[in-house]
Structures are given as C-alpha cells and as structure tokens.
Amino acid sequence: MAKKSSATSQSHDALELLKADHKHVLQLFAEFEKMDKEDEDARRELVERVCNQLTVHAEIEEELFYPALRDVVDEQDLLNEAQVEHDMAKQLIADLESMEPDEDLYDAKFTVLGEYVRHHVEEEEKEIFARAKKAKLDLDTIGADMFDRKKELMAEFGMDIDEEMMQDAQIGEKKSSGKAARHPRAH
C-alpha cells in the first residue's frame, strides 16, 4: 500500500510524469548535438543538467515505480533489463562527471548515454508502461508519491525547484499536454 501523499489533492499520473521527464531529456540531447563544440562551458552545463535529471528520474523509478510494477506483473525480464540500462547509464554519468569537455571521450560518452536513454525510453514507454496500465496500478497514487520524492531529492541537492514544480504541476492539471519537466541535481 502506498503512503498517503501530500500531492493527492491534484492528479499526478505516474506515466505522464515519467513521459514528461523522457521528453525533456531527449530534447536536451538533441540540443547538445547542435551546440558549438568550442563552447566548453555551455556543453559542460548541458551535460551536467542532463546527468542530474537522469539521476533523479532513475531514483524515483527505482524507488517507487519499478517496485510497484514488480509486485503485480509476472514478466520480470523487462524490469530487469530496465535496471541494467539504469546501471549502465549511471556508469556513463559517473564517467562524465569526472571528465572535462575537452577530453577525448567526453562527447562520445555523452552520445552513447543519449543512445542508451533513447533505447530505454522507447522500450519503457511501449512495453513497461503498457504492462503498468494493464496491471491496473493506482498510477495517481504512485505518481503523487513519485512527485513528492522528486521534490525531496531536488531539495536534498539544493536545487531551485520552483520552476520544476510548476512544470510538474501542469502534468497533473493537463495530463495530455505533455509538458516537459526538468529534474536536475546539484553536485
């Protein structure tokens, strides 16, 4: 049973929250591809932003969404693969966080991270989300808990969450809007 959330006064569908995260981070990967390779500060800032967002996103999935789904589906292979994909992304994130933009493999590692994320998003949205809907999970309660946890994580990392939370709140108000949310973490 999910704990009562302070965000229950507003609908926060878990799948819509995750889709908004996906959409936003994919936009940032596309933005990176168009960036001036000579602007190391801008590249570093964007890479940091993406890594931070992916870290918070993975945390709420691993703490709340995947365990709820594991409890109600028989097919564990997809969830196991998703966890391995998270682990691989975390390794690339750790590598990137220890590097400088002028290092030889910096862009390559970020590009590979983007490829992993694109694959993960596609598989998750097509297969895992379909199983979550079919399992009739209480996606609003799980989503509210994820929303609250995201707020906690962002606060722990000293992030300015005002803009982030406004974007997330729009997900609850207009589920079909597909507004993207940012979820960075500080270093």
Give the residue numbers spanning the domain of 114. Answer: 14-175
pTM score of the predicted model = 0.80
In whole angstroms, give the CA distance from residue 52 to residue 184.
4
The share of the chain scoring above pLDDT 70, in percent, equals 78
Write out pLDDT tens, residues 15-50. 999 999 999 999 999 999 999 989 999 999 999 989
In whole angstroms, give the CA distance from residue 113 to residue 96.
10
| Residue 153 counted as domain residue | yes
| Residue 180 counted as domain residue | no
| Residue 5 counted as domain residue | no
Write out pLDDT tens, residues 85-120. 999 999 999 999 999 999 999 999 999 999 999 999
Judge contact between 81 and 144, C-beta under 8 A: no
**What pLDDT does residue 166 have?**
43
* Rounded average pLDDT over 129-151: 93
CATH number of the structural domain spanning residue 47:
1.20.120.520
